[in-house]
Amino acid sequence: MASNQADLIRLLEAELDLIEGGGYGLPSGHPDQERPMFYRSLACINHWLIEGRADECNEDCVLMQWVPEQHKQEAMPCHFIPLNQAGATVRSFEGNQARLEEAVKIWLRKKIDELKLQAGST
């Protein structure tokens, strides 16, 4: 488990780096096309798939552990992960990219810290 936990920490850190580096900015040549949070990111199980051939999200996705049970069958279940104590989600922030990215960065930092703390106590 320690190896998997370490891998998960590195993956979440890479996702945080991606957001902080502007990786979810508007695509060049498509200024009206937003990139959904987590979709085709390093944390997404569909990351390496060819456009238009997305697998359904399932328990193989590392983000599913934070998705509430009632949303696990949604098209993009990671968009229903509670990001804060108020229960805001990626979906609830859609349309406000700056607030969305800030909320996800805070959530990622918190999860990374929690995982590191757990790893240190095992």
pLDDT (tens digit per residue) in 12-64? 999 999 888 877 665 555 555 556 788 667 777 666 555 554 556 777 788 99
pTM: 0.81
Nearest to 39, CA basis, from 55, 20, 17, 60? 55
Cα separation, 81 vs 86, whole angstroms? 12
Q: Which domain holds residue 66?
A: 2-121
| C-alpha dihedral (56, 58, 61, 62), degrees to nearest 10 | 150
> Could you give the number of structural domains in the chain?
1
Q: Residues of the chain with pLDDT > 90: what percent?
A: 45
**Other CB atoms within 10 A of residue 18 CB:** 15
